[in-house]
Amino acid sequence: MIKTIKDIDLNGKRVIMRVDFNVPMKDGKIQDDTRIIAAVPSINYIMEHGAKSLVLMSHLGDPNKDLKKEKEKAERSGKTWNEEGYLAGKHRMRPIAEYLSALLNRPVIFAGEDGCFGKKAFIEAQADASIIMLENTRFHKEETSNNPEERDVLAKELAGYGDIFVNDAFGTAHRDHASTASIAKFSGLSVGGLLMDKEVSYLESMIINPVKPMLAIIGGAKVSSKIAVLESLLKSASAMIIGGGMAFTFLKAEGHKIGKSLVEDDQLDTARAIYAAAQKAGVELLLPVDFLCAEEFEPDAKVIAIDKQDLPDHLMGMDAGPRSIELFKQAVTNAKSIIWNGPLGVFEFDAFAGGTRAMAEMVAEAADRGAIAVVGGGDSVAAVNKFGLASRMSHVSTGGGASLELLEGKKLPGIEVCR
């Protein structure tokens, strides 16, 4: 549980809120507004409850790192380099402020391209009940500095723009940055926004006190990136489905032939240990029992169905097969709470998207029946969006790395300051 804007008096207060407006941009146009829309309930709540001012801050890519890469890329290709044009199209917050203004149907005042320092007089000069957007926080090296004292320089400045600090940027909650965590040291009061509250409530419940039976569906490419999540969820899950590329490491660990499929040979002992831990905890561990395969990792590769777990040497597993889906369906049907992180196959290739689509549909149907269905970040979110099923889930997380780390049971700096 965290303290939120619903727990405090906002009337007449100056509020500074960290949001996650790190959205994909192309030539100054927003390509996906999901994260912006997710922050609107908190913005509306704060303004409806009488805030004197609301200052919004976010990063938008990392201009210092990305600028260097793009400049080198342009020079290699012989293109004319326009530095300010690049920054305006990819990293400046002015287009975000304009988009948000249209979304809210009220002015959102951009504080200028000269950074986040020295804006107190500008903010105080605005009319009461104004919404102000600061420039991209990552134009300042202090934002992401590994030196706490250096981070504090920016954090103290930002804290001066509000009586209350609100963190509604779940997507960066795992980062110990000036605008996400350090600022709380200098703020009179620090609380979470409505999005942060929703994220923490749904995700923490899956590791602390889930409604049983609880099903964890873990997919994706590599076991190594999900070890801590698997170990954490084994403590609270009733059953666990392992799919995607990582399933082949488990299958090889059991002695199966996996052909040319993706595998992490250095994680075979880890897979065996996780399997043993599941048995000890009484958690049913389910792996695919058949596959859709291909000879090459290509979107137009010929689909070859293999009706068993052992694959020929010349094939690689690309998706879960129909018998696997039927096996998984029983587990989904039995579950009263579900956490899903990672696809079951190469869903980016239409020919191998069937397993992930079927899982998304089954989880959506479970939610329709009253189960708590949480999609926890990364490619699973992309999948449910691709298949038009996001709105049927109980919750679709806006955080990738943050979701993963919270499910691992870690304490996230941007959340801890709201407790």
Give yes or no for a contact between 360 and 379, defined as CB atoms under 8 angstroms apart: no
* Pairing outcome for strands 239-242 and 284-286: parallel
Which phi and psi (to 5°) does residue 226 adopt?
-125, 10
Count how many Cα atoms sit within 13 Å of the Cα of residue 292 in the half-sphere of its side chain. Answer: 24
Q: Which residues in 247-312 belong to E strands, given as ranges?
A: 284-286, 291-294, 304-306
**Coil, helix or strand for 318?**
strand
Q: Are 262 and 294 in contact (CB under 8 A)?
A: no
What kind and span of H or E run contains 25? strand 25-26
Query: Any alpha helices (H) in 256-376, and if so which ranges?
Result: 268-281, 322-334, 354-368
Short-list 195, 133, 180, CA closest to 398 = 195
C-beta contacts of 108-111 below 8 A and 24+ residues apart? 108/56, 108/132, 108/133, 109/133, 110/135, 111/55, 111/135
Instruction: Tell me the helices (H) and strands (E) count for the chain, helix number first.
Output: 16, 17
Q: What is the dihedral of CA 131, 134, 136, 138, to 10 degrees?
A: -130
Q: How far apart are CA 17 and CA 165, in angstroms?
A: 6
Residues recognised as catalytic: 35, 222, 378, 401
Helix (H, G, I), strand (E, B) or coil at 322: helix
Nearest 10 degrees: Cα torsion 188, 193, 196, 199: 140
